[in-house]
């Protein structure tokens, strides 16, 4: 039976089913585990968490002589929750939207802990440990909440990958992109959650690809390429052996490299044979891959990446899904460097609802004078604004090395 207990009642030998509090408030990447290490017990006691759920069928229960500290049963808590829900707005999760600077600070912590969790999860999977949806969903929830507060912050920061961490941070980024796209498509809260889970787990099969092949800086041989192409099938097999993994996650894992013209892999499916979620996964996977630095190439700028994807969209992506994706992140995604009609450079810091071509820009460089100028925030969608974007630009061309700090306040990826 599941029992909620006060932190003072926690003992070695108990099976923690859930730590009551935000996933970000404790250092454990897995939410459920047997408490058999004194160091872990001490860590839990110092996190500030007040209560935990234990499962007395998998570990020690609560002593009956603990008097007023006796835990509450699952049934009692369920009644409490029902009463709360009866008074609450059940139309969906409401999260206050915040500006890019506010969310970037929180997104750094979310990215860091998500990477830690995904790294541990995937490495355990490589060693043969079965995956559990219960371990992965808290990561998805935290990423989803960040995206709801401000989609550009975490999505933009997740691009700042170290080449050695690509596989793990790629999973975090695709999760965020899937959540954002699912919301743009008007999917239900549960569908958004499952799309995020699918994004998080879509590349787990790469754990079965030798690291020397996965991180090879040069061109792959035909045999090596075939090994890499096996990762959807390998991942699908791993997820089948897991617990609580949805059909959506299984489908996206196996089919995110399929193309609408039938030239994808592993099953060479055509347009009508590919599910909505697999089509979403294909777009999100490619976008993050081409905007990220890889062992064999540096990433393209976000706006340039969308232009190239638009060129490939006929036969590669579902056009409706791709258009929804562009709308979800903008023609000029957060962090894009742009040239304005006023002969100044700026970085995109927010999207606006009025037009994909009129985002909020932080202007910081005069092309005419070839010098930095005091930063100025321009909302190009406002009637009073007389400026507009004329092109996207490559920061390397202009010698701008602090582009991410300009929009996020983060100078380098701290993970």
Domain of 147: which CATH number?
A: 1.10.3210.10
Has residue 128 been placed in a domain? yes
Q: Which of 329, 349, 368 is the last residue of a domain?
A: 329
Distance CA 252, CA 263 (A): 17
User: 150 with 249, same domain?
Assistant: yes
Has residue 414 been placed in a domain? no
Beta strand extents in 36-78 (DSSP E only): 51-55, 72-73
Could you report the per-residue pLDDT of 246-282, keeping only the tens digit for each?
Answer: 999 999 999 999 999 999 999 999 999 999 999 999 9
User: 48 with 118, same domain?
Assistant: no
Distance CA 84, CA 110 (A): 28
Q: Which of 30, 59, 87 is the last residue of a domain?
A: 87
Q: Which of 87, 119, 141 is the last residue of a domain?
A: 87
The answer on pLDDT for 386 being more than 60 is: yes
User: 136 with 233, same domain?
Assistant: yes
What is the span of the domain harbouring residue 56? 2-87
**Mean pLDDT, residues 82-90 taken together:** 39
User: 270 with 168, same domain?
Assistant: yes
Distance CA 357, CA 333 (A): 10
Has residue 413 been placed in a domain? no
User: 403 with 285, same domain?
Assistant: no
Has residue 43 been placed in a domain? yes
Has residue 54 been placed in a domain? yes
User: 61 with 166, same domain?
Assistant: no
Question: pLDDT category, 411, cuts 50, 70, 90?
Answer: confident
pLDDT of residue 74: 45
User: 11 with 129, same domain?
Assistant: no
Could you report the per-residue pLDDT of 208-242, keeping only the tens digit for each?
Answer: 999 899 888 888 899 999 999 999 999 999 999 99
Has residue 19 been placed in a domain? yes
User: 201 with 245, same domain?
Assistant: yes
Has residue 95 been placed in a domain? no
Could you report the per-residue pLDDT of 148-175, keeping only the tens digit for each?
Answer: 999 999 999 988 887 778 889 999 999 9
User: 71 with 30, same domain?
Assistant: yes
The answer on pLDDT for 75 being more than 80 is: no
Has residue 93 been placed in a domain? no
In what helix (H) or strand (E) does residue 2 lie, and over which residues does it extend? strand 2-6
User: 156 with 282, same domain?
Assistant: yes
Q: 145: closest CA among 169, 176, 123?
A: 176
Measure Cα distances from 161 to 112, 323, 364, 410 in Å: 11, 26, 25, 13
User: 158 with 302, same domain?
Assistant: yes
In the chain, the number of structural domains is 3
Tokens 């999917």: give the residue: 187
User: 153 with 264, same domain?
Assistant: yes
């Amino acid at each position: 039976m599941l029992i909620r207990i006060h932190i003072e009642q926690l003992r070695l030998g108990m099976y923690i089913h859930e730590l009551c509090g935000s996933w970000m408030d404790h250092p454990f990447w897995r939410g459920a585990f047997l408490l058999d290490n004194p160091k872990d017990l001490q860590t839990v006691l110092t996190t500030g968490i007040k209560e935990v759920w234990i499962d007395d069928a998998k570990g020690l229960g609560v002593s009956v002589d603990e008097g007023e500290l006796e835990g509450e049963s699952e049934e009692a808590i369920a009644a409490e929750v029902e009463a709360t829900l009866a008074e609450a707005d059940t139309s969906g999760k409401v999260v206050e939207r915040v500006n890019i600077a506010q969310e970037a600070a929180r997104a750094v912590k979310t990215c860091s802990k998500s990477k830690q969790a995904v790294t541990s999860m995937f490495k355990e999977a490589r060693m043969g440990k079965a995956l559990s949806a219960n371990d992965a969903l808290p990561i998805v929830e935290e990423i989803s909440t960040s995206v709801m507060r401000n989609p550009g912050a975490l999505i933009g920061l997740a691009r700042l990958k170290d080449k050695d961490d690509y596989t793990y941070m790629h999973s975090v980024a695709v999760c965020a992109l899937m959540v954002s796209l699912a919301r743009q498509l008007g999917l239900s809260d549960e569908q958004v959650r499952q799309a995020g889970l699918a994004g998080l787990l879509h590349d787990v099969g790469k754990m079965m690809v030798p690291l020397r092949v996965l991180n090879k800086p040069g061109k792959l041989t035909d045999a090596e390429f075939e090994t890499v192409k096996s990762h959807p099938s390998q991942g699908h097999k791993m997820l089948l052996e897991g617990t609580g993994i949805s059909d959506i996650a299984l489908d996206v894992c196996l089919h995110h490299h399929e193309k609408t013209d039938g030239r994808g892999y592993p099953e060479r499916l055509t347009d009508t044979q590919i599910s909505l979620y697999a089509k979403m996964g294909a777009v999100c996977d490619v976008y993050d891959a081409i905007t990220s630095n890889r062992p064999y190439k540096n990433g393209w700028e976000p706006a340039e990446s969308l232009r190239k994807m638009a060129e490939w969209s006929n036969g590669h992506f579902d056009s409706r899904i791709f258009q929804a994706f562009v709308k979800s992140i903008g023609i000029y995604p957060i962090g894009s460097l742009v040239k304005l009609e006023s002969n100044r450079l700026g970085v995109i810091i927010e999207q606006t609802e009025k037009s994909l071509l009129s985002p909020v820009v932080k202007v910081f460089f005069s092309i005419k004078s070839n010098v930095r100028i005091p930063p100025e925030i321009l909302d190009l969608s406002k009637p009073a604004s007389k400026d507009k974007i004329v092109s996207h630009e490559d920061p390397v061309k202009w010698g701008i090395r602090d582009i991410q700090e300009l929009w996020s306040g983060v100078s380098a990826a701290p993970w």
